[in-house]
Amino acid sequence: MFENLSERLGGVFDRLTKQGALSEADVETALREVRVALLEADVSLPVARDFVNAVKKKATGQAVTKSVTPGQQVVKIVHDELVHVLSGDGPADALKIDNPPATILMVGLQGSGKTTTTAKLAKRLKEKNGKRVLMASLDTNRPAAMEQLAILGTQIGVDTLPIVKGEKAPQIAKRAKTQAAMGGYDVLFLDTAGRLHIDEVLMDEVQAVRDIASPRETLLVVDGLTGQDAVNVATEFDGKVGISGVVLTRMDGDGRGGAALSMRAVTGKPIRFVGLGEKMDAIETFEPERVAGRILGMGDIVALVEKARETFEAEQAERMMKRFQKGLFNMNDLKAQLEQMLKMGGMQGLMGMLPGMGKMAKQAEEAGFDDRMLRRQIALINSMTKKERANPDLLAASRKKRIAAGAGLDVAELNRLLKQHKQMAEMMKKMGKGGMMKQAIKQMM
């Protein structure tokens, strides 16, 4: 699913990744293409516009990290925004099926996949949650639809309400409720009738059924291939009946995946499941992270960001190495080192990688040199001015007091840090001269 949108956006980012720096014009161009890609994927205009604006705002406000490629940076921002739009207010919870029998009302247009989805969900609840499920078809206009549900029920081993000719939908709903309660069922699915288009009669009937059934969930099933229409249908149903979530079907087709984006943004209703085929197992919960990854067509976005981070660290290490070789080691270097140590599993982890330092790491730990200490030291360096960091010898007693207070710590701790810095600076100088530092850093990376 989402192939088209993926390909379009993929092309935009390919071009971006090949450039050196992210100029404002680049952002503009890239985002224009993102907007076109979204519109072609049938994302509604206001949603596409809002989306692009949000990305632009974030991209412009963000300092360009030198070592991350512009493409990676924009991809990350676009990804995060996609997740944001797709998740809405928060994660879509599992179906509410407490207080048995919990009624789940299935609504939607004819042919949207309502009956299929009803059976798929029933099977899931039975197999994954060990629930006893009853299904009832209320489609009195189409006896074939009632038959279809009964056949699916037999196929998946889920009970269906016996068909009684001549009953109206609200009557069937009432009988199904009674049957579910008496039969000790946990969940009751009511598969309502669909029409080809939304009309008054249909809505009146669904409302009547809703009032009788008092459902815990009202799930709207919409065909994901219908794009913008799906969003309009959702808006209509939500206004007239009130829905608690959406199931997007046919997301296995090569459709324009924009429906998912617009659906969330326009209706504010969570997409709970996506249908991925005709088979009874072809349904998945809707995962914004995963869908955003698919829309971008960039595979595992986490891996991408990881890669960006590595690039950053390698560059930083190189920069530091050059300084050390010159025998330079100020407070900023110490801070970068401390942060690096935290990332690499603390003092123990870092020292373990340096030849002959295992014993020193142990001693350091015994002396209370742990991650909390690293964080305290970083806080101290953060409360120094730029000048002081470059040359800590400048620090007068009054400034030391202020700095320690700024970090919420003792002056004694600051003095220890300064002493430690001095020792390390000395060591760096010596190692730098002997070319040992280069080797050590290479090992660390």
Task: Tell me the residue number closest to ligand GDP, measured at CB.
Answer: 275
98 is in an annotated binding site: no
Can you tell me the distance from the alpha carbon of 264 to that of 266, in angstroms, rounded to the nearest whole number?
6
Give the closest residue to 118 by CA, choosing from 231, 22, 218: 218
108 is in an annotated binding site: yes
Structure token digits, residue 239: 């206004």
Residue 90 CB, shortest distance to ligand GDP, in Å, is 25
Residues paired with 217 in a beta bridge: 104
112 is in an annotated binding site: yes
Can you tell me the distance from the alpha carbon of 8 to that of 38, in angstroms, rounded to the nearest whole number?
9
The three-state DSSP-derived secondary structure of 182-208 is: HCCCCEEEEECCCCCCCCHHHHHHHHH
- 280-285, Cβ contacts within 8 angstroms, sequence gap of 24 or more: 280/119, 280/120, 280/123, 280/152, 280/155, 280/156, 281/120, 281/123, 282/120, 282/252, 283/117, 283/120, 283/121, 283/124, 283/247, 285/92, 285/94
Nearer to ligand GDP, 147 or 370 (CB): 147
192 is in an annotated binding site: yes
294 is in an annotated binding site: no
Nearer to ligand GDP, 124 or 335 (CB): 124
Residue 224 CB, shortest distance to ligand GDP, in Å, is 8
195 is in an annotated binding site: yes
103 is in an annotated binding site: no
Nearer to ligand GDP, 121 or 414 (CB): 121
Nearer to ligand GDP, 72 or 140 (CB): 140
255 is in an annotated binding site: no
358 is in an annotated binding site: no
252 is in an annotated binding site: yes
Residue 176 CB, shortest distance to ligand GDP, in Å, is 17
Residue 146 CB, shortest distance to ligand GDP, in Å, is 11
Residue 279 CB, shortest distance to ligand GDP, in Å, is 9
Residue 294 CB, shortest distance to ligand GDP, in Å, is 16
Residue 127 CB, shortest distance to ligand GDP, in Å, is 18
- Please list, residue by residue across 70-82, b when 16 or more beta carbons sit within 10 angstroms of its beta carbon and e when fewer do: bbbbbbbbbbebb
Residue 215 CB, shortest distance to ligand GDP, in Å, is 18
249 is in an annotated binding site: yes
Nearer to ligand GDP, 114 or 269 (CB): 114
69 is in an annotated binding site: no
Cα-flanking dihedrals φ and ψ of residue 275, to 5°?
A: -90, 135
Nearer to ligand GDP, 252 or 287 (CB): 252
Residues paired with 56 in a beta bridge: none
Site residues for ligand GDP per CB under 6 A: 108, 110-116, 194, 249-250, 252-253, 275-278, 282
Q: What is the dihedral of CA 13, 17, 23, 27, to 10 degrees?
A: 10
Can you tell me the distance from the alpha carbon of 310 to that of 328, in angstroms, rounded to the nearest whole number?
24
Please count the CA atoms within 13 angstroms of the CA of 410 that sit on its side-chain side: 5
Residue 119 CB, shortest distance to ligand GDP, in Å, is 8
Nearer to ligand GDP, 71 or 108 (CB): 108
Nearer to ligand GDP, 33 or 223 (CB): 223
Can you tell me the distance from the alpha carbon of 206 to that of 106, in angstroms, rounded to the nearest whole number?
10
- 285-293, Cβ contacts within 8 angstroms, sequence gap of 24 or more: 285/92, 285/94, 286/86, 286/92, 286/248, 286/260, 288/82, 288/83, 288/86, 288/87, 288/91, 289/83, 291/2, 291/82, 291/86, 291/257, 291/260, 292/79, 292/82, 292/83, 292/86, 293/79
Residues annotated in the binding site, as ranges?
108-115, 191-195, 249-252
Residues annotated in the binding site for GTP, as ranges?
108-115, 191-195, 249-252
